[in-house]
């Protein structure tokens, strides 16, 4: 492959993987199966290995997906919380075993544990002296979001361990999930209320555990299973199998069954046994986790940048079905992205009738050579949106024609564009009806204005009836407009109008996020709100001012500046003001004068006498800000033992580096 083509392919793969990371980990709205995602990573890893000069430390191939969200306090894991490498075949599983043998040596005997792999949300619980003190999501593997109060609502989780044989401090890893029965109960209630139903239990679980309102979390009966050992002081167990029994003795909810295996043949046999038994489990499983049983050998084997070498996940094959592809339609998203969709002869798959499946993008359609009239294999992995896996070439009609992706938007007929480095094509017309509908849905969503009762079906009806076409039209709706909507009675009308009225005085950052400016998510919106305090000041800001804000890069600054220079958006700001929209500016934070006033500090490694969380609190108490990534805007890096890539990057950028002694000296210069 030519050098320019290799660079282009790597850029596209990185962008595609980053997009799916965001959809899965932060938005809980995955579009592809785990297998398809893993194949993208395999392809990227291979290209980077063949072209080491193009490899980057920050490449998605070296990172754990990041689930951290604004609104939550982050907290460091005492022991890194990594993800697992996946395998999909017996031969790949045996390759894993061969690597273990090679690393430990032929003469070293060892055994395995086989456990069910849950399809939920990973969490790490810290118990001190047997008492639950903290619950943290995986985050980026180094630190995650503190969701302690939400986790405390899980009825099956004890806040105090049974018995007396507790270590002083222990991190216990597990998975939060929702039973199918609870998922059905919640969706039935939403149907009765005329609201959009949720897609699947895993996505609903991910959204629930990140709710800022603890009372809302408590209404949804989340459950948890615990199985993994993180930091433990003192270490009171030597085998993973013993740890499972220890958890059960402490009264913690554990996996329904696990197996011990003396060799890889037994491992494979037990995985097949698990596959047959998992239908009776109370939670969804999508595979098996195979671990070296000895914790001492686990430590000897170590880990890569993102996964332990001593464990692997074997993923069960997703259910597939064969059906006819009748048509290929193209959907238009909020930002204009054109997504091809396969319209299918209805077929039963994973307990539901499937009539549509995603084709992802034009490159995927071309790579698989999918054509109208083909017989295709569709797959529904992890209860997400079905996807076309392959074409049954033996059944292809003789007169089939190659599918050509449309050059223009199928809704408004505007010529589509393709941004360099992106796989997707986009419709650039901001007035495109499909984009208008998606923008309105985004604006009213929980993540933005949180207008109760204004879900997808309601927005669709309002647009179809010509009642709204711009964001400002939401604030012109009257009761006589709404009473004509399907499933709307007087109470529904009253509730929606009240929700719209309340949104007029919601937080400024929610409006900024709701506008849907490209690359401006909730975190960036909060930074902008804090900096400018009003829409008027933000709209008037120049690029030079925007790019100085911590967390706002040049590309994002350019997009923000362009958004507020667009005549349509200038008019929108004027209309919102006339309609009485007065977003709440962030409360002015009292500036603390101290050694780190106005300074940004990044923490890395293990500090000798304090946790990174404690150090972070002392930095903030001294007027500073703690950041998770090193950039030119970083003032100091506080480095402890085993500091890694952040320390190296700081050295390259010339950022000042502190050890704990220098850090404490800055906080209290009069100390010895």
Label the pairing between strands 352-358 and 319-332: unpaired
**Looking at 41, 63, 117, 395, which residue is catalytic?**
117
CA 630 to chain centre: 22
100: how many CB neighbours lie within 10 A of its CB? 19
- Say how far apart CA 89 and CA 268 lie, in whole Å: 10
- Say how far apart CA 648 and CA 659 lie, in whole Å: 14
Full 3-state SS string of 531-590: HHCCHHHHHHCCHHHHHCCCCCCHHHHHHHHHHHHCHHHHHHHHHHHHCCCCCECCCCCC
397: how many CB neighbours lie within 10 A of its CB? 11
Q: Which two tokens stand for residue 182?
A: 């609870």
Q: DSSP of 124-188, one letter per residue?
A: EEEEETTEEEEEEE-TTSSEEEB-HHHHTT-TTS-SB-SSS---SEEEEEEEEE--HHHHHHHHH
> N- to C-terminal Cα distance for the chain?
62
491 is catalytic: no
Q: Render the burial of 539-552: b for 16+ CB within 10 Å, e for the rest.
A: bebeeebbbebeeb
- Say how far apart CA 338 and CA 332 lie, in whole Å: 5
- Say how far apart CA 641 and CA 53 lie, in whole Å: 29
Give the position of tokens 């009225």.
501
- Say how far apart CA 145 and CA 56 lie, in whole Å: 26
Q: Render the burial of 631-666: b for 16+ CB within 10 Å, e for the rest.
A: eeebebbbbbeebeebbebbeeeebebbbbeebbeb
- Say how far apart CA 579 and CA 503 lie, in whole Å: 12
Radius of gyration of the chain (CA): 26
Reference 206, options 122, 287, 85, 126; nearest CA is 122
Q: Which two tokens stand for residue 531?
A: 């900096």
* Angle formed at CA 89 by CA 85 and CA 95, multiple of 5 degrees: 65
Q: Which residues contact 617 (CB under 8 A, 6 or more apart)?
A: none
404: how many CB neighbours lie within 10 A of its CB? 9
Active site residues: 117
């Amino acid at each position: 492959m030519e050098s320019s083509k290799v660079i282009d392919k790597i850029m596209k793969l990185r962008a595609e993987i980053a997009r799916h990371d965001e959809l899965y980990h932060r938005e809980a709205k995955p579009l592809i199966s785990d297998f398809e995602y893993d194949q993208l990573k395999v392809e990227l890893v291979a290209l980077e290995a063949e072209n080491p000069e193009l490899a980057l430390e920050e490449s998605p191939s070296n990172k754990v997906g990041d689930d951290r969200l604004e609104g939550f306090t982050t907290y460091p894991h005492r022991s890194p919380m990594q993800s697992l490498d996946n395998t999909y075949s017996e031969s790949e599983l045996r390759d894993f075993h061969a690597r273990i043998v090679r690393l430990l040596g032929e003469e070293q005997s060892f055994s395995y544990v086989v456990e069910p792999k849950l399809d939920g949300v990973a969490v790490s619980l810290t118990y001190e002296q047997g008492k639950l003190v903290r619950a943290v999501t995986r985050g980026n593997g180094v630190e995650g979001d503190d969701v302690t109060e939400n986790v405390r609502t899980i009825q099956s989780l004890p806040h105090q361990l049974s018995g007396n044989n507790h270590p002083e401090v222990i991190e216990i890893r597990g998975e939060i999930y929702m039973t199918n029965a609870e998922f059905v109960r919640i969706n039935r209630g939403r149907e009765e209320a005329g609201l959009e139903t949720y897609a699947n239990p895993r996505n609903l679980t991910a959204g629930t555990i990140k709710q800022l309102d603890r009372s809302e979390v408590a209404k949804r009966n989340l459950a948890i299973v615990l199985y993994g050992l993180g930091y433990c002081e003192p270490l009171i167990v030597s085998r993973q199998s013993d740890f499972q029994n220890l958890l059960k003795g402490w009264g913690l909810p554990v996996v329904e069954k696990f197996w011990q295996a003396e060799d890889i043949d037994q491992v494979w046999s037990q995985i097949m046994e698990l596959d047959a038994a998992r239908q009776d489990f109370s939670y969804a499983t999508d595979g098996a986790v195979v671990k070296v049983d000895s914790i001492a050998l686990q430590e000897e084997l170590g880990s890569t940048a993102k996964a332990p070498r001593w464990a692997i996940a074997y993923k069960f094959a997703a259910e597939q079905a064969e059906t006819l592809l009748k048509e290929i339609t193209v959907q238009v998203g909020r930002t204009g992205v054109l997504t091809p969709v396969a319209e299918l002869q209805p077929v039963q798959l994973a307990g539901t009738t499937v009539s549509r499946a995603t084709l992802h993008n034009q490159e995927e359609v071309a790579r698989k050579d999918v054509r109208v009239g083909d017989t295709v294999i569709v797959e529904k992995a992890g209860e997400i949106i079905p996807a076309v896996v392959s074409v049954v070439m033996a059944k292809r009609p003789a007169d089939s024609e190659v599918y050509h992706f449309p050059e223009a938007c199928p809704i408004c007929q505007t010529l589509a564009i393709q941004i360099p480095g992106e796989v997707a094509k986009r419709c650039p017309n901001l007035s495109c009806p499909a984009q208008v509908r998606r923008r309105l849905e985004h604006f009213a969503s929980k993540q933005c204005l949180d207008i109760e009762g204004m879900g997808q079906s309601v927005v669709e009806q309002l647009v179809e009836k010509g009642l709204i076409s711009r964001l400002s039209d939401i604030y012109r709706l009257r009761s006589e407009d709404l009473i004509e909507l399907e499933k709307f009675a007087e109470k529904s009308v009253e509730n929606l109008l009240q929700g719209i009225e309340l949104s007029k005085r919601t937080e400024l950052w929610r409006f900024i996020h709701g506008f849907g400016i490209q690359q401006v998510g909730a975190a960036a919106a909060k930074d902008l709100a804090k900096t400018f305090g009003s829409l008027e000041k933000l709209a008037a800001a120049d690029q030079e001012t925007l790019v100085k804000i911590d967390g706002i890069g040049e590309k994002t600054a350019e997009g923000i500046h362009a958004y507020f220079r667009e005549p349509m958006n200038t008019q929108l700001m004027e209309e919102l003001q006339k309609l009485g929209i007065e977003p709440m500016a962030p409360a002015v934070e009292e500036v603390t004068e101290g050694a780190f006033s106005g300074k940004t500090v990044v923490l890395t490694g293990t500090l000798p006498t304090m946790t990174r969380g404690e150090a972070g609190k002392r930095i903030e108490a001294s007027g500073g800000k703690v950041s998770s990534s090193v950039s030119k805007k970083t003032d100091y890096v506080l480095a402890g033992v085993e500091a890694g890539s952040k320390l190296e990057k700081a050295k390259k950028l010339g950022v000042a580096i502190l050890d704990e002694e220098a850090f404490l000296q800055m906080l209290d210069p009069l100390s010895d």
